[in-house]
Structure 1
Amino acid sequence: MTLRSVDLRTEPVEAVLNRVERSLGVRLNQEPVVRKRRSLGARTDRDTWVRIERRGLDRIGVQGGDGTASAEALRGIAKPAWLAGIAWRDEMERVMWQADETELLPGAPVSGAVVTEDPRLSEEWWAAMNASLDALAAQHTNRIATPDTETLTQELVAGTIHRAFAGIDTTVVEWHPAHADFNWANMTAPVFCVFDWEDWGMAPRGLDAANLWGASLVVPALASRVRTERRVDLESRDGKLMTLFVAAKILGPYADPDDPRLGAARETAEQVVKELQAS
């Protein structure tokens, strides 16, 4: 059975919201509901937040759909506490719905996933981001990261990079826990907090830093700041591979010719390719 393509920004969702209210014993503020392509979010009457995700069973993998709940075991990371959750299989389609209730965020998201202007973040913000990423990388998990809902394997790394950059040895050596969707829409300011943990798991070193770099390219000074702050990760061999992994998604066969990040991504990627070939 082919899974129906659904965009929750336009799909009727009243039945889903009502089911979540009954199951979690909350009342959702349905005006407004934050709607994304495959997730919904709303504040509750007990001053918490509920995020609801729709994911095909073929994109759940062996680790299940409990990313946000399992992230509660992580320590030393600025993130909202997980409070409760429910999951159910859709009666009509090969789809799982997952709803997680968490603490409210300490601020608004920095921007959309790709930033278009300098958010002017404080030194305290950068320090908190670094501390959280360092703490995350030092922990242990059996989960495997699922960026863009795809299980992150050595084969996926090689296939993605080689679509844009041929002749690169893509063998990953270091794997560490990563958020795997580390972009400006999933972090708050002025107080740093990272949320939406559904895809976290083991990933090549530098994935989160490379993702944030790729999401910053429209603002050159910000992209440079990201690379400076996460230099140790991004200058490692695996970090360079993750830079190409992210760049390949921008520059590869499905590139958007109007993407304002193209030039900056290509310039950095060409330099990284030279460094890898020389090593």
Structure 2
Amino acid sequence: MPEDLLNAWRYAVMQLWLVPEGDPTHIGLGGRSLSGPCLDSDKRPVWLRVAALSKAGRKAFEGVHLADALLPATVPRPALVSEYAWGSDPGFIAHVWERMRGSVISTTPDLAGPVGLSPQWWADLRAALDTVHTVSLPPRRQVLTQAYVGRIARFIPEVAEAGVDLTVKKWEASHGDLHWANLGDPLEFLDWEGWGWAPVGYDAATLLTYALPQGEAATEVRTSFADVLASEEGRLAQLVSAAEVIQAAERDELHARLAPYARKSARDLLTSTPQ
């Protein structure tokens, strides 16, 4: 556990008048954050996350406030309780949320086994995401840029060989990091820091990519978002998501183990006939 983050966690606990229920239980990807359960001053259960970030990087966390202000209650998520930031280059930022009603689907972004979610859960997921995609966001909030999409052939050379048009024709407000550690059962969405504009279908494509090692879950995603994923926009979004995983495979073990599935998914897309 990174010592500087653990010290920052303890400092945030004091400043926010929290009582930790043990040490933080979750280390974020790349060791950039620590999270865990606490009680607030009224002994209500809350969740504290402390993240290290540069001064410039703090802009990303305005997403927390935008989610609180712009998303309707039909998009279930723990309510933001408080925020506290300190230091600079790097600094730290602490967020306190209400505790989840249930638990996350997976402790990692991918899946270690079957998810066993009800048909109602899948229907609620689709309905909630349809709502997210209609939200009007500031133009500057982008999950991805056209410039990045235009470079995905660096990671999937077959894209260039197939002459795929990499122009994003439609954009929509998106969660932007929709993997299995950011979803709960009962349905709740976590981690809105980075949400913004992304190619249409990007959320469904991301969820599918992280489900690929578990065939049953991948089938559920494909069924629930069949119209989105089969569209021209959805096919491009799947290629983008696959490219992101392949690129990240050089940096961490999680994406290294997902990369073969992402490569196969991209090849299958490029050799199949659009419906």
Q: Evaluate the alpha carbon distance shift between residue 224 and residue 30 of structure 1 in structure 2; reply closer, same or farther with a 3 A threshold.
A: same
Please name the residue that 2:12 is paired with.
Answer: 20
Give the CA deviation at 1:224.
1.8
Alignment of 1:227-242 (within 5 A): 227-242=222-237
Report the 3-state secondary structure (helix = DSSP H, G, I; strand = E; otherwise coil) of the residue aligned with 2:51. strand
State the identity as a percent.
28
Q: List aligned pairs for 1:134-173, cutoff 5 A.
A: 134-142=130-138, 144-146=141-143, 152-164=144-156, 165-166=159-160, 167-173=163-169
Residue equivalent to 1:273: 270
Q: CA RMSD in A?
A: 2.6
Structure 2 residue 40 is matched with structure 1 residue 42: no
1:13–1:251 distance in 2 versus 1, CA, 3 Å: closer
Q: Secondary structure at the match of 1:13?
A: helix
After superposition, the C-alpha distances for 1:89-139 in whole angstroms (9 at most, x for unaligned) are: 33xxx2242211111101111112110211111112111111111110011
What is the CA distance between 1:230 and its match in structure 2? 1.1
Given the alignment of the two structures, is residue 196 of structure 1 paired with residue 191 of structure 2, yes or no?
Answer: yes
Deviations 1:24-74 (A, max 9, x none): 2322334343222211112222311111222234545xx442222221121
In 2, Cα distance between equivalents of 1:100 and 1:179: 18
Match of 1:213 among 195, 208, 212: 208
- 1:160 and 1:238 map into 2 onto residues whose CA distance is 15
**Structure 1 counterpart of 2:50:** 52
1:229 is displaced (CA, Å) by: 0.7
Alignment pair present for 1:182 and 2:164: no
- The answer for the alignment partner of 1:3 in structure 2 is none
Q: Following TM superposition, by how much is the alpha carbon of 1:206 offset from its aligned partner in structure 2, in angstroms?
A: 1.1
**Is residue 155–residue 246 contact of structure 2 (8 Å, CA) maintained in 1?**
no
Contact residue 248 and residue 256 of structure 2 kept, 8 A: no
Partner amino acid for 1:114? Answer: D
Residue pair 1:162, 1:168 contacting (<8 A) in 2 also: no
| Contact kept? 2:104, 2:180, Cα under 8 Å | yes
Count residues in correspondence.
259
- How far apart, CA to CA, are the structure 1 residues paired with 2:227 and 2:12? 43
Equivalent AA in structure 2 for residue 16 of structure 1: A
Contact 1:210/1:243 (<8 A) preserved: yes
Determine if contact 1:161/1:244 at 8 Å carries over to the other structure. no
Unpaired segments ≥5 residues, structure 1? 1-8, 147-151
Q: Which amino acid aligns with 1:107?
A: G
Per-residue CA deviation, residues 191-231 of structure 1 (Å, 9 max, x unaligned), is 11111111111111111111111111111121121111112
- 1:151-200 Cα deviation digits (max 9, x unpaired): x21101111344313232211111111111111111112x1111111111
1:97 maps to what in 2?
Answer: 92
| Aligned equivalents of 1:155, 1:136: Cα separation in 2 | 24
Q: 2 CA distance for matches of 1:236 and 1:96? A: 42
TM-score for both structures, normalised by structure 2 = 0.84
Could you tell me which amino acid in structure 2 is paired with residue 200 of structure 1?
Answer: W
Write the distance in 1 (CA, Å) between the matches of 2:199 and 2:210. 18
Distance 1:205 1:47, change over 3 A: same
Structure 2, unmatched stretches of 5+, are: none
> Aligned equivalents of 2:91 and 2:198: distance in 1?
24
Q: In structure 1, what residue type is equivalent to 2:64?
A: T
